[in-house]
Amino acid sequence: MTLKELSKITGYSVSTLSKIFSDSKEVSKETKNAVIIKAKELGCYYKFNKIKYDKKVIAVICPELSSAYYTNILSALKNVIEKKNATMIVAVTEFSLKEEVNLIGYFSSLKRADGIIVLEGKSVAKKHNPVPVVYMNSASENIYADTVNTDFYSGISEAIYEFKNNGHKKIGFIGEKLAAFKLDLFYKAMNHRNMPINENYVLISDERFEEAGYSAMEKMIKSKDIPTAILTAYDYIALGAIHSMQSHGLRCPDDISVIGMDNIKIASYYNISLSSINTNAEEMSSLMIDLLFRKIENRAYTLAQNISVKSNLIMRGSVKSLNAE
């Protein structure tokens, strides 16, 4: 569709259409509205629209909104973006690589955003993308885009150290398929701390969130071979596992110590004050926005950086010392 073709359809001259898409005061509101409605029907409104939004727009592409992990990051990003006097819009992929690529293309080619942040991205950035892109915890080697990655291992290693330091030798892990990569880090940390690994204490659930922790803990309890300490892939799994324990008359941390991951707000307010690995969402968000705006404000700046942010353990009341027993 060209302006000339749109002119034939609407009956207005090309010069009038140009004034409409520039929001000129020379054209009446009624005429503008009629043309804009028709242009939207034909799918060419955004192509011709020349009206500029008075703030920078940052598009955040997120895998899902049902996880507190992502909503915490979105909240932290929103705070930082607003301090930059910019606006955040959010699009969801449901973990689809195809949808992620489509959304990056939409925000880039139509220039519907000034910058893009991709959370847990699976795609590979183009060398000359029209809009700057920053990835968080990228699953791909993005040599043409900035990446800010969480060093999950530092926090997991610290958690295993605390279990060991508190006399625990029977240490387990509960995860789910979308967070299965953390299991490898658990094995690495256990080996690094010279701790024995019992595969009976390791479960990767087909379910998610509290259901994953609850069902996995049920299996452990039924097996009657229960670890004294459990690390979970994220906090909701920990809360589900604790719920299962309580339904069987077991107590955390008296019977089983638990450490979660992501340090969601509810972790410190639950009836068990949950120890958790903090992934530092605020620091991650500040770094991503700093990297993004550096390229928004200076398009000649092309250096791609890969930054790793350490996670750290926050100890609360869900780990018991066995040393005195």
CATH number at residue 237: 3.40.50.2300
Helix/strand/coil for 157: helix
DSSP assigned state of 178:
G
In a domain, 75, yes or no: yes
Q: Does residue 271 sit in the same domain as residue 168?
A: yes
Question: What strands, in cross-sheet order, belong to the sheet with 229-232?
Answer: 202-205, 171-176, 229-232, 257-261, 275-278, 312-314
Long-range interactions of 123-129: CB distance < 8 A, separation 24+:
123/97, 129/104
Total number of domains in the chain: 3
Task: Give the range of the structural domain holding residue 222, as residue numbers without chain letter.
Answer: 152-278
Question: Cβ contacts of residue 23 below 8 Å, gap of 6+?
Answer: 32, 50, 51
Q: Does residue 268 sit in the same domain as residue 158?
A: yes
Beta-carbon neighbour count of residue 195 at 10 Å? 17
Q: Does residue 168 sit in the same domain as residue 272?
A: yes
pLDDT by residue for the chain (325 residues), tens only, comes to 888 999 999 999 989 998 888 888 899 999 989 999 999 899 888 788 876 667 899 999 999 999 889 999 999 999 999 999 999 999 999 999 999 999 999 998 766 799 999 999 999 998 888 899 999 999 888 889 999 999 999 999 999 999 999 999 999 999 999 998 999 999 999 999 999 999 999 999 999 999 999 999 999 999 988 999 999 999 999 999 999 999 999 999 999 999 999 998 776 666 779 999 999 999 999 999 999 999 999 988 889 999 999 999 999 999 999 986 5
> Which phi and psi (to 5°) does residue 134 adopt?
-125, 130
**Closest residue by Cα to residue 171 from 184, 187, 182, 155:** 187
Q: Does residue 40 sit in the same domain as residue 122?
A: no
